[in-house]
Amino acid sequence: MVSDNHDKRLSIGIIGGGIGGVAFAVALSRDSGLDVHLFEAATQFSEIGAGVSFGPNAVRAIRRLGLEAPYRRIADSSPPPFEDVWFEWRRGRDDAYLTATLAPGCGQSSVHRADFLEAIVENLPEGIAQFGKRCIEVQQDSESATARFADGTTFTGDILIGFDGIKSTVRDHVLPPEQYADLGPFWSGTYAYRGMIPTQQLEATLAAKGADKRLARVPQMYLGPDRHILTFPVKQSQLINVVAFITDRSTPSPQLPEGEEWVNAVTQEELLEVFEGWGAASQAILECIPEPTRWALHELPELPHYHRDRVLIVGDAAHAMVPHQGAGAGQALEDADVLASLLTEEACDRHNAEAVLAAFEAVRHARTCKVQRTSHEAGDVYEYAGAGIGDDEARLIENLETRYDWLWHHDPQDDVVEARRRLGWKQDADSRGPKA
């Protein structure tokens, strides 16, 4: 199909219907001057994974995307007086308390991924999303960009936005492998064992092992050499999301065994063996996960750029990262907020859209690369391998109490203001967030 809606000032194709792509489409749909189309490879909207957490920066983006009400309806938070706790940090071998990281007014603001996506989708008008559209190729010329799908159909619009995840097809167009070599995902060296535990079951098991049952409902991080475990509540605190990590640091570039899938079902025995000798709380948590899944965590290298003329990659397609700062989904939402704010400006049309995409990249690239880099570094810190920190608990505590400040205190609106300046657009109060 060709977007021939010439009474609109700009036609936009969005490839990928995850949290970021749908939030972006919802924000754009409120502007009657835009012709918006979203293409999802699956037969319906769906999310893999379990819990996802958002820092204060991401919650600000959610608010400006006009999605705060559905978010608040499903978001979890810690019980008083722990509502500002992002994580409590403990020594894995004996559960000893080290410190807490606080996010005032936000805390560990977490949701179940599928619930959050469903809540966003409810705000997406009919007719924007199409399903069964797996993008296999992108092309463009001086006036338009075209996505070709596996079912034989195509879409041509003024611009294309790739929200199509870590295995992005759009990325191969923006950064052609024959020109840039392999810039695709690589294994981080870390496996993540995942499980969900009914809250009451975990509380009972903690108590039976002599551990404080409060550890179930207040977000926890248990730290140890090359390993760490995190827990936080989801589903209105009915379930506890658990992720247990182990990292191979025996080589600078660990390789996943050839042919191994990214996600595998494994035995509880394997999980318990990895954390043998850890404290009562850790043992209670892991014994409540009879059928864990093991995820080989992949990330992207820092890409040289995200934009090629009329095509842009954002979210995990541009800067997929390991989850150690709870920042991946948040960066996708920041991207959605900033880009929607620019594209919904009346000054933005098909004639200057390329310049708008370039301005977006100019104000986002350094930040998203830094979030990628520091997310990897955070995993090192948690597992007693941080540069200049190691297993020195005094230095570890100092780092954990302050390392997220720069990440959380950023306001995506500042990126919008800077992009407008680069574009020569006037600054006014109406530029705050996507247009209603």
Domain ranges of the chain: 10-79+111-184+300-387+405-431
| CA distances for 61 relative to 66, 90, 299, 435, angstroms | 9, 31, 23, 14
Q: Is the pLDDT of residue 436 over 50?
A: no
Quote the pLDDT of residue 426: 87
Assess whether 113 carries a catalytic annotation.
Answer: no
Q: How far apart are CA 285 and CA 57, in angstroms?
A: 30
Paired tokens of 183: 């810039």
pLDDT tens sequence across 296-312:
999 999 999 999 999 99
Q: Is the pLDDT of residue 434 over 70?
A: no
Query: Could you give the angle at the alpha carbon of 83 between the alpha carbons of 82 and 84, nearest 5°?
Result: 95
Q: How far apart are CA 15 and CA 127, in angstroms?
A: 15
Q: Which band of pLDDT confidence, cut at 50, 70 and 90, is reported for residue 74? A: confident
Q: Is the pLDDT of residue 21 over 80?
A: yes
- What does the DSSP 8-state code read for residue 214? G
Average pLDDT over residues 239-255: 95
Mean pLDDT over each residue of the chain, to the nearest integer: 94
- What does the DSSP 8-state code read for residue 162? E
Quote the pLDDT of residue 79: 80
Q: How far apart are CA 20 and CA 375, in angstroms?
A: 19
Higher pLDDT, 100 or 79: 100
A 10 A CB-CB count for 436 gives 8
First to last CA, the chain: 28
The dihedral through the CA atoms of 235, 70, 160, 310 has a sign that is negative
Average pLDDT over residues 203-212: 96
Q: Which band of pLDDT confidence, cut at 50, 70 and 90, is reported for residue 46? A: confident
Helices (H), 249-387: 268-274, 280-287, 316-319, 328-343, 353-382
Q: Which band of pLDDT confidence, cut at 50, 70 and 90, is reported for residue 45? A: confident
Q: Which band of pLDDT confidence, cut at 50, 70 and 90, is reported for residue 134? A: very high
Which CATH number describes the domain made up of 10-79+111-184+300-387+405-431? 3.50.50.60
Contact by Cβ (8 Å): 19, 331: no
Contact by Cβ (8 Å): 312, 335: no
| CA distances for 193 relative to 46, 213, 258, angstroms | 21, 22, 20
Q: How far apart are CA 158 and CA 160, in angstroms?
A: 7
Quote the pLDDT of residue 28: 98
The dihedrals phi and psi of 55, each to the nearest 5 degrees, come to -85, 175
Q: Which band of pLDDT confidence, cut at 50, 70 and 90, is reported for residue 1? A: confident
Q: Choose, from 72, 91, 93, 194, the residue flagged as catalytic.
A: 194
